[in-house]
Amino acid sequence: MASQLISKSESAYIQASLQATPPLRADGRGLLDFRTVLLETGVAPLANGSARLNIGRMPHEGGGGTELLAATKLEVEDVDSGDGVDGGRVVCSVSCSPSAYPHLSPNTLEELQYDLTVILQQAIGHPSLHPQNLTIIPRKKSWLLNLDVIVLADAGNVVDALFMAARAALWDTKVPRTRAVQYRAPEQLQTTRDSAGAMDVDQREAIPAASGFDTREMVRAAADFELPDYWDEGEVLHGREKWPICITLNLLPPTHFLDATPAEEASVPLRMHLAFSFGDPNSPRLQSMRLSGPGELDLTQVKAHIADGERYARELFNALEAKVRDEDIRRNVKARDKFALR
Amino acid sequence: MAQSNFDRRRINGPDESYQPIFESDDELEPKWKPGNPRKGRGARDLRPIYLKAGFISQANGSAYIETEKTKIACAVYGPRQSKTTVYNEKGRLNVEVKFAPFSCTRRRVPIRDAEDRSVAVQIQQALVAAVRLELLPKSTIDIFLTIIENDGIEGCVAAGSVAASVALADAGIEMLGLVASCSAAIVGEEVWVDPTDEEGRIASGTLVLAGMPALGTITSVWQTGSMAPHDAVKCMEACQECCTDIHAVMAQVLLENAGKT
């Protein structure tokens, strides 16, 4: 999004090569090829879910590329007296590390952070994607899901990376299981007072009243909650198949291309961000669409781009799905097997 | 003393305050249920627009737009010299939006915050392709929008783009065409054009489209919420038709204003 400075001749050179037949890109990719995407989940042990994503790491030197770290943290909020909403809420924030954008002033960096946060928040915080299991005690306490993404390095295509990392971190998130609790004083309280006026404690203990800690019928009148098992990580977020995937089409009429490098982003400023949700594989839903950069399109072009974007997003989604499930297996099943073998 | 909201320059109210609860509030109007028609207008009807150009004499160009509960005032200063020393061969378009503290149901802080910036970015995206910035090197055009009453963010972005476009024309800045903007929402199975705040909340998805009807092009699309892709296309087509109507209103207002001076 923050493009580097580029000279007019270099920009014209890149545009001309993209529009040539056959189209040429500096690293030899096709117009629709992505760079290598590396993903690892469970990187932040204190977070409820986390993921680290890298697009375009150079295979031999082992560095470079767009690198992001996403982590989710759950906090308890009070619905009555605090900011909580019945049903829980999801808040996203993106922060750009100054090492990723050394040429930007602090003000411009903050503005870039705002812009990326808004793009992520409007898509992910929308009520249509809200997970169902963020309530602790209905109308009293709920979970606040904080999704924080840090951009550690930017080598182009940050928006796609943001959504991929956010999706992986949300997939990995475990919500702790809670149980509602209320202390209810025993009803049959018989006290005898001795001459000094103090209550006779023994009488109370002799009564086999229902225990104040009986939690079986508490839920409706519950005032507080507890974690039944401290070491249990919890259950996954409901509706995690619905988290969206974004694809950025860089538009250079009559062509378009995916996964731009910084020089390509600077030469082709007009782009379209499309976020699709594949909760139901047969009918994908468009969660966010945004045209950005100086340029104009007509309606037929926009329609064509939406259709193309859907195809590309589906391929990206399938690849990401396979990878996060693989990561789940690696961390759970394989780790247990390795431990059992010892 | 609460650290977070203490503003030295203003008289602060009490730290905590609660709205009084009225018994009659709950049953005022029946809630909308899927299948019910739209309240008060047709699905494709715009709210009536009141537009006035040239009402701030101090600015180079200005416009005021009012559509039922959305009221926005816009002033354009420019082209004037860029404050930065960096040479820019194309002019810069600087859009600043401010929500008045009384514009929403919950008071907004008088300091600029993140939501102001997101509306400003959308309006800039709508206008930047239309203004002939290559004729204004080393210059900046400042567009200041004040939102006096806010009835939904999508309505604000759309009305703000319209007001800014009229103000730019009033300032005599060269453009490729007037930019008209319109919002739409998918409610149930229907497309409702120009949704209010309430309608935006019950909708499953909303879309704001800005373009130049004179050239038939689109300069900005912003969609949020869950929509099937073909529904998004239907919304865009409905918005484009309404943009043509809005363009006629804008042109008429500018002609009248030019006739008077």
Q: Residue B207 pairs with which residues in a beta bridge? A: B184, B223
Average pLDDT over residues B213-229: 92
DSSP label at A129?
G
Integer angstrom CA distances of residue B144 from A292, B61, B62, B172: 21, 11, 9, 16
Residues of chain B in contact with residue A128, where contact means CB-CB under 8 angstroms, are 204-205, 225-226
Task: Please give the single-letter amino acid code of residue A110.
Answer: E
Residues A226-237 have pLDDT tens digits of 777 766 678 888
Q: Residue A52 pairs with which residues in a beta bridge? A: A40, A69
Question: How many Å apart are CA A119 and CA A116, to the nearest integer?
Answer: 5
Task: Please give the single-letter amino acid code of residue A236.
Answer: V
Q: Does A314 touch chain B (CB under 8 A)?
A: no
What pLDDT does B6 receive?
67
Q: Which two tokens stand for residue B229?
A: 């892709």
Residues of chain A where predicted confidence (pLDDT) is lower than 70: 1-3, 82, 183-223, 230-232, 342
**DSSP-derived secondary structure for A217-267:** T-GGG--EEE-S-TT---EEPTTGGG--EEEEEEEETTEEESS--HHHHHH
DSSP label at A332?
I
Residues of chain B in contact with residue A85, where contact means CB-CB under 8 angstroms, are none
What pLDDT does B93 receive?
93
Residues B98-109 have pLDDT tens digits of 999 888 887 777
- CA B214 to chain centroid, in Å, comes to 20
Phi and psi angles of residue A220, each rounded to the nearest 5 degrees, phi first = -65, -35
- CA A101 to chain centroid, in Å, comes to 22
Average pLDDT over residues B49-59: 92
Count of CB atoms situated within 10 Å of the CB of A17: 15
* B148: closest CA of chain A, how far (Å): 23
Q: Which two tokens stand for residue A142?
A: 């709920």
Question: How many Å apart are CA B97 and CA B106, to the nearest integer?
Answer: 18
**Average pLDDT over chain A, rounded to an integer:** 83
Residues of chain B in contact with residue A294, where contact means CB-CB under 8 angstroms, are 128-129
Residues A249-287 have pLDDT tens digits of 999 988 999 999 999 999 999 999 999 999 888 888 999
pLDDT band at B217 (very low <50, low <70, confident <90, very high): very high
* A47: closest CA of chain B, how far (Å): 26
Map residue A41 onto helix, strand or coil.
Answer: strand
Residues of chain B in contact with residue A310, where contact means CB-CB under 8 angstroms, are 229
Task: Please give the single-letter amino acid code of residue A195.
Answer: S
Among A111, A285, A298, the strongest candidate for a mutation testing the B interface, having the largest count of B CBs within 10 A, is A285
* B125: closest CA of chain A, how far (Å): 6
Closest by CA position to A253, among listed B162, B217, B204, B147: B217
Burial class (CB in 10 A: 0-12, 13-18, 19+), A331: middle
Residues A7-32 have pLDDT tens digits of 999 999 999 999 998 999 988 999 99
- CA B37 to chain centroid, in Å, comes to 26
User: Locate tokens 């900046």: which residue?
Assistant: B140
End-to-end CA distance of chain A: 49
Question: How many Å apart are CA B27 and CA B96, to the nearest integer?
Answer: 40
Q: Which two tokens stand for residue B27?
A: 């049953």
Map residue A26 onto helix, strand or coil.
Answer: coil
